[in-house]
Structure 1
């Protein structure tokens, strides 16, 4: 399974500019507490089906994806993520409860004045490349392994049998949901179930839903470019081996309004000048990404609407304040590095998307998931999103429960005597 490559998300449809009135100062208020306003629909909102035109049963089981204008208004408070712990994944995708995969950025590639000229040939050393073989299942499994070893710090209180989280997943799940209002051709399937008061979620993209799929060679090459770029950014040599399977992840807890989230976030690099042991936030970390050079007005519009939105969502969910972007040409040569600040990215987008829309949609959908899952907490619930369509809910047979939460997790959580003693 390949991780997302550095190219634009091809599942995103090029929507026109939103016509709602929530631009300017309002769009910058996504950290302020306030009521969600989903009533001020733009002139195009009438093109979507409403509950009155749907069958009553279908309406109850459908989350309608409306135009972004429907999610205008001041967004609920989005709290700063708190670091709970970390773990590593080695080249064989084996879970390690340590910091062995923690990497530091090479300060030579950290632009001091916001931009730096370089020459990185991403094609070199491809014959030694060890491709990424992981996917949603093993990433989710690693998070569950970490939770079992750290249930004490996750509980609402020492004697509790409930984790202090409404939703638990990996960052990719939450990122996909937040970007949905602007990527209406995306296809994904979300599975969710409740266990001991928390809702566990696992998301599959369209490619992951297709067995024995063949990856487009061009898409694969772009993904390899992304891993090779990361190799350069930590000071790796062009001819050295690149191992895409290795990861370092932090487990974070945050709140969006009154909803508490726990997620595992993949980290790229720490800043050696700002990194501190026993860190409680990710201010000392840096995201990196590789993108194609922007040369035309059309590609600039796409860059602002999709790439900037993607980077902002990753940064805001992780609490990482900076990212370094490498801009490559068609031949895979990176000539320019730019330093972007997460909080300034929405202004760079110039109203192609709005933070408050992403957050309001996110909260609205999570509340929908919670309402459906708690109708039958013992079942696995499926939320399927079709291209240019709504999100449809269905309930899987009870026998499917173990396909989401394995028995080794459900049988061991809150049952270990050693762990209980450690909590006291």
Structure 2
């Protein structure tokens, strides 16, 4: 991974992500094969205390390792409709690609992923998910870490983001929403169980990807005509009062940019807050303009280096796994782990115990076998 400058090559561009399917989770986090959980943006009121309602927060609890379950269900439904297999080199959540792509500029965290590989019609497909054991370990370490005196807890600060979403989103377009609902959004109970998730197809320099990820909302409406949608990503951030705060903001902007870029979200809306959680400003930023904003300051990260690094890593994964025997059964398809330990520059890719069934649902395995038999 070092020196970073070795990834500063010819400019690469991600093929614009195209939505091929979607799904929703309702207010009880029940899976639905529709777009019923889309939310619509409406400017929030400044001066709102983001701490309000914390005691009534209906939080989505971690109920265990969900693997790629919802994404795979959605792909099954799509393939059953079209009768064609969705082809890609990588199938994963957007969050996994965000983690990988962050690596070239972030050496402070110990990130772990699990990778499982199964046989495709023409080549190996990598299904990527987070290492759940490591995820729980990291979460518990954060919970056990004492809160510095005079600061809000990590749970409260996480709540601020969900509160900002509640203040900024409507369940229907604004012209179909009552004035009373718009003006009393601050009184709504915050619930992060409902989600709209987009499934997109994209490509980076020959590596094709199917990515699933949550979309916060839409600027206007979603047209079902195949044209790009004016999605928005909502974020909260401490107001920048000095040079150090600006540096923190620029590093956060890298994550905002990558998350939005990978799903084709054109606009990021940032709610700036005080250290006590008071919303003081809202800024609308065009996703593709974020690298220019950072470049005009200290240039703490480079968008092209991020994408060139991702391209190199994806090619490394594909080259390594294709050395394995092909035409393996689901039970013989190996599981791999990709890992970078804390403050180390090397990224490891190695085989671990398990096979495709460790990650892929029985329903998906059965469907892909059935589809393959129909196409032979």
TM-score over 0.5 for the pair:
yes
Q: In the alignment, is residue 189 of structure 1 matched against residue 112 of structure 2?
A: yes
Partner of 1:320: 265
Alpha-carbon deviation of 1:282? 4.3
Aligned partners of 1:279 and 1:135: how far apart in 2? 37
Secondary structure in structure 1 of the residue aligned to 2:10: coil
SS in 2 for 1:118: coil
**1:29 equivalent in structure 2:** none
1:358 to 292, 306, 314: 306
Taking the aligned partners of 1:90 and 1:348, their CA distance within structure 2 comes to: 37
Q: Is the 8 A contact 1:249 1:265 kept in 2?
A: yes
Contact 1:191/1:201 (8 A) holds in 2: yes
Matches of 2:261 and 2:80, distance apart in 1: 26
Q: What secondary structure sits across from 2:66 in the alignment?
A: helix
For 1:403 and 1:92, how far apart are their aligned partners in 2? 27
Residue 296 of structure 1 corresponds to 242
| Distance of 1:105 and 1:227 partners within structure 2 | 14
User: Equivalent residue for 2:172?
Assistant: none
Matched, 1:229 2:164: yes
Indicate conservation of the 8 Å contact 1:380/1:401, yes or no: yes
Q: Which whole-Å CA distance do the structure 2 matches of 1:74 and 1:153 have between them?
A: 40
How far did 1:362 drift? 0.2
**Equivalent residues of 1:229, 1:290 under 8 A apart:** yes
Aligned length: 339
Correspondence for 1:254: 202
User: CA offsets per residue over residues 265-292 of structure 1, 9 Å max, x none?
Assistant: 21011122xx243153543211111111
1:77/1:238 CA distance change after superposition, 3 Å: closer
The counterpart of 1:406, out of the listed 342, 361, 364, is: 361
CA RMSD of the aligned region, Å?
Answer: 2.6
In structure 2, the CA distance between the partners of 1:150 and 1:135, relative to structure 1 (3 Å rule), is farther
Stretch moving more, 75-84 or 214-223? 214-223
Partner of residue 3, structure 2: 67
3-state DSSP of counterpart to 1:413: helix
1:133 aligns with 2:61: yes
- Residues 382, 396 of structure 1: 8 Å contact kept: yes
1:328-407 equivalences under 5 Å are 328-350=273-295, 351-376=299-324, 378-389=333-344, 390-397=346-353, 399-407=354-362
**Cα deviation digits, residues 251-278 of structure 1 (max 9, x gap):** 0001111111100121011122xx2431
TM-score of the pair, normalised by structure 2: 0.83
Q: Contact 1:326–1:334 at 8 Å: present in 2 too?
A: yes
Q: Which secondary structure state, in structure 2, belongs to the residue aligned with residue 76 of structure 1?
A: coil
Q: Deviations over 1:175-211 (max 9, x none)?
A: 1111111111222222222223221111248861418
Report runs of 4+ in structure 1 exceeding 3 Å deviation. 134-137, 152-155, 204-207
1:92-130 C-alpha deviation (Å, 9 max, x unpaired): 332110112111011x34xxxxxxx81221111112101
Q: Which runs of 5+ in 2 are unaligned?
A: 148-152, 170-181, 327-332
User: Does 1:278 pair with 2:233?
Assistant: no
Give 1:212 deviation, angstroms: 8.0
Which one of 123, 135, 140 corresponds to residue 208 of structure 1?
135
Alpha-carbon separation, structure 2, partners of 1:206 and 1:149: 30
Give the 3-state SS of the residue equivalent to 1:380 in structure 2.
Answer: strand
Q: Which TM-score applies when normalising by structure 1?
A: 0.74
Farther off after superposition, 247-256 or 278-287: 278-287
CA drift of 1:139 comes to: 6.4
SS at match of 2:285: strand
